[in-house]
Amino acid sequence: MSTTDYLLQAGRDEDIAIITARATYTYGDLRVATQQVARKLLAVGIAPGDRVGLLSANSLFWVATYLATMKIGAISVPFSTTLTPEELEESERFVECRALCLQKRYQRRLARGLRVDLPLVVESEVLAQETPAGGLDVESVAVDPDQDAAFMLTSGTTSRPKVVRVSHRNIPGQYRVDHQLPWPDP
């Protein structure tokens, strides 16, 4: 079972999964949105191991994109919404993104920091799509628990970008390590 499938199985369709300042979303909403983003990522040519940038405020789209990226075996790379166009370009090139998922409201402000050859997955376009007839599910890609799931960018003390690698095993829940630590006797 993929990390995404594990996380999405937690609730019934009508159970609340996400609460934002503007709306409440159910697990059913999140499952559909995750499938929509996964289909779009596959349509623009994203393959397992590819890095997918994510530029979005906290939202259904952010969570669905993060989960969809892991579902297809790609690596999610969340970017800060406060980046300048130059910082976005430097960070995106540093991690070698093959696509960028973003909310439309950031597209205009950051346009000059985006490569012209970088496929964009825009929230307002992908989440507005109807579910195709004949099936909803994009199959999850089997991944090794130690495979990268996300790259978290940090500037550290030098202000130069660094990457913290998060594996599927690092994401709480599915891959538990059950063992006893050897505590010394008092």
pLDDT at residue 86 is higher than 80: yes
Higher pLDDT, 89 or 183: 89
pLDDT at residue 180 is higher than 50: no
Q: What percent of the chain lies above the pLDDT cut of 90?
A: 48
Mean pLDDT of the chain: 85
The band of 62, judged by pLDDT with boundaries at 50, 70 and 90, is: very high
88, two tokens: 């976005």
Q: Residue 54: inside a domain, yes or no?
A: yes
Q: Cα–Cα distance between 145 and 142 in angstroms, integer?
A: 9
Q: What percent of the chain lies above the pLDDT cut of 70?
A: 86
Q: Residue 148: inside a domain, yes or no?
A: yes
Q: How many domains does the chain have?
A: 1
Q: Residue 31: inside a domain, yes or no?
A: yes
pLDDT at residue 101 is higher than 90: yes
Q: Residue 119: inside a domain, yes or no?
A: yes
Q: Residue 155: inside a domain, yes or no?
A: yes
Q: Residue 185: inside a domain, yes or no?
A: no
- Model pLDDT, residue 179: 46
Look up the CATH number of the domain holding residue 68: 3.40.50.980
- Model pLDDT, residue 137: 83
Cβ atoms of residues 96 and 170 within 8 Å: no
- Model pLDDT, residue 135: 57
Q: Residue 70: inside a domain, yes or no?
A: yes
Q: Which distant-in-sequence residues (6+ apart) come within 8 Å of 134 by Cβ?
A: none
DSSP 134-169: T--PPPPPP--TTSEEEEEEE-TTTTS-EEEEEEGG
- Model pLDDT, residue 157: 63
Mean pLDDT of 76-97: 90
Residue-number span of the structural domain to which 126 is assigned: 3-130+143-165
pLDDT at residue 24 is higher than 80: yes
Q: Which distant-in-sequence residues (6+ apart) come within 8 Å of 3 by Cβ?
A: 70, 143, 149, 168, 171, 173, 174
Q: Residue 112: inside a domain, yes or no?
A: yes
Residues 27-39: tens digit of each pLDDT = 999 999 999 999 9
